[in-house]
């Protein structure tokens, strides 16, 4: 079984880090990048990550 880890490092910035501990692959998403993909070439999996900052959360329907 492979477990993927999603971490939010402590600190003022609100980025997140996605990791595949089995293969030591990791991708860090900087704050402001609301969407990104993490890919582990050994697993052959691509994971799409969407980051929603609840501080400025709005109903997406209102933005269209």
**Rule CB under 5 A: which residues touch Zn ion?**
20, 23, 40, 42-43
23 or 34: CB nearest Zn ion: 23
* Min dist. Cβ of residue 19 to Zn ion (A): 9
| Cα-Cα-Cα-Cα dihedral sign, residues 29, 20, 26, 11 | positive
φ, ψ for residue 63 (rounded to 5)? -90, -10
* Min dist. Cβ of residue 58 to Zn ion (A): 35
Residues whose CB falls within 8 Å of the CB of residue 64, separated by 6 or more in sequence, listed in order: none
* Min dist. Cβ of residue 48 to Zn ion (A): 16
């Amino acid at each position: 079984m492979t477990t993927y880890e999603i971490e939010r490092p402590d600190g003022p910035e609100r980025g997140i880090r996605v990791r595949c501990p089995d293969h030591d692959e990791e991708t860090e998403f900087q704050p402001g990048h609301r969407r990104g993909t993490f890919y582990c070439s050994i697993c052959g999996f691509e994971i799409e990550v969407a980051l929603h900052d609840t501080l400025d959360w709005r109903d997406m329907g209102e933005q269209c």
